[in-house]
Amino acid sequence: MSLSKTASADGTTLTIQIKGKFDFNLVQSFRQAYAEIGDKTAKVVIDLRETDYMDSSALGMLLNMKKTLGTSVDAIHISNCQPQLKKILQISRFDKKFDID
């Protein structure tokens, strides 16, 4: 379980990648990952390609992020979900609030 963040070359996209398990153990590091977001950042990508597991606490953390960032970013993408995780996001109607890819 770990979290890493990368800014794109032009600084407009922040990518947060979560490996393994996305649950309340990441509550602090996830919050920190977007806390000092720059003005230039227009898009946040939550890359779940290496995320095998998530539960409702992860959903809560994502909603918290959306609330915190508000309109300061244009879009929040949740990308590269494995099918079962995509199902969890869809059941929770997250497709209405996030761009899920």
Partner 1 sequence: MHVLVVDDQALNRSLLSVMLKQQGYQVTTANNGIEALAVIDSQSIDIVLLDVLMPEMDGYETAPKIKQRSEDVYLPIIFITSLEDKDSLEHCLAVGGDDFIHKPFDKVILTAKIKAHSRTRQLSLKAHEQNAQLEYHYNQTEREHEIVEHIFNNALENQNEFSNNIDFHLSPASMFNGDMLLVAQSPIGSLYCMLGDFTGHGLAAAVGALPASKVFYTMVNKGMAVNDIAHEVNTVLAKLLPGHMFCAATIIELSSSGKSISAWLGGLPDAYVIDQQGKVLKTLESQHMALGILDADEFERELIHFEVDNTTRIVLATDGIIETANDEDEYFGEQRFIQVLGSKTQVSCHDIIEQVTKFAKGSKQQDDLSLVLFNCLPVPSSKAEAETYSPLPFNFSLSLNSAQIKQTDPVLEVVDVITRVSGLKAHRSDIFLLLSEAYNNAVDHGLLGLDSDIKNHDDGFFEFYQQREAALASLQGAMIIIEIRYCPETLCLYFTICDSGNGFTSNNRGHSLAREHGRGLSLLEEIADYVSYNASGNQIEMRYKLT
DSSP 8-class letter at 37 = -
* Residue 2 lies near partner 1 (rule: CB under 8 A): no
Q: What are phi and psi of 11, to 5 degrees?
A: 75, 5
User: CA 95, CA 101: separation in Å to the nearest integer?
Assistant: 9
Least Å from the CB of residue 39 to partner 1: 18
10 binds partner 1 (CB under 8 A): yes
Q: Tell how far CA 9 is from the center of its chain.
A: 19
Give the dihedral sign, CA 3/27/101/21. positive
Residue with smaller CB distance to partner 1, 35 or 71: 35
Site of interaction with partner 1 (CB under 8 A): 6-10, 13, 15, 17, 21, 23-25, 27-28, 31, 43, 45, 47, 49-50, 52-57, 59-61, 63-64, 77, 79-85, 88, 91-93, 101
